[in-house]
Amino acid sequence: MIVSNIKDLAGVEIQGPEVKNALKKVLVSPDQGWEGYVMRLFELGASGYTPRHSHPWPHINYIVQGRGTLHLDGQDYELEAGSFAYVPGGKLHQFTNLSEEKFVFICIVPEEGDK
């Protein structure tokens, strides 16, 4: 069980040649009793992006703040606070920040997606 606030969580900077200005915070996971799933919060700074990649598991995303794009299966979708998306497993995807403010989104994956 957990009751907390994102401001109280330390983020982990995501490193790699295909990532820029990306921070991840794990909100709820099996450590808090949610067996099989993980809810994370990603913050993309100015001009930030996640890697363009695919993996076998799906994920659900909800945009909390800012503006950005989701590249999904060859198409770009503009996103803003309140937007949501389901990304099926095996589909090429990438999130990109389109502004100078943070682009913040929740991403829920099966447990194997947060290893």
Cβ-in-10-Å burial (0-12, 13-18, 19+) of 59 comes to buried
The reported pLDDT for the residue numbered 1 is 83
At 15-60, the pLDDT tens digits run 999 999 999 999 999 999 999 999 999 999 999 999 999 999 999 9
Q: Which two three-digit tokens encode residue 72?
A: 């999904």
Choose among 87, 46, 47, 55: nearest CA to 70.
Answer: 87
Q: Which domain holds residue 52?
A: 10-101
d(C-alpha 98, C-alpha 37), whole Å: 29
Let me know if residue 107 belongs to a domain. no
Give me the number of domains the chain comprises.
1
Let me know if residue 34 belongs to a domain. yes
Let me know if residue 113 belongs to a domain. no
The reported pLDDT for the residue numbered 98 is 94
Provide the CATH number for the domain around residue 33.
Answer: 2.60.120.10
The reported pLDDT for the residue numbered 106 is 98
At 71-108, the pLDDT tens digits run 999 999 999 999 999 999 999 999 999 999 999 999 99
Let me know if residue 114 belongs to a domain. no
Q: What angle do CA 29, 22, 64 make, to 5 degrees?
A: 65
Q: What is the pTM of this model?
A: 0.95
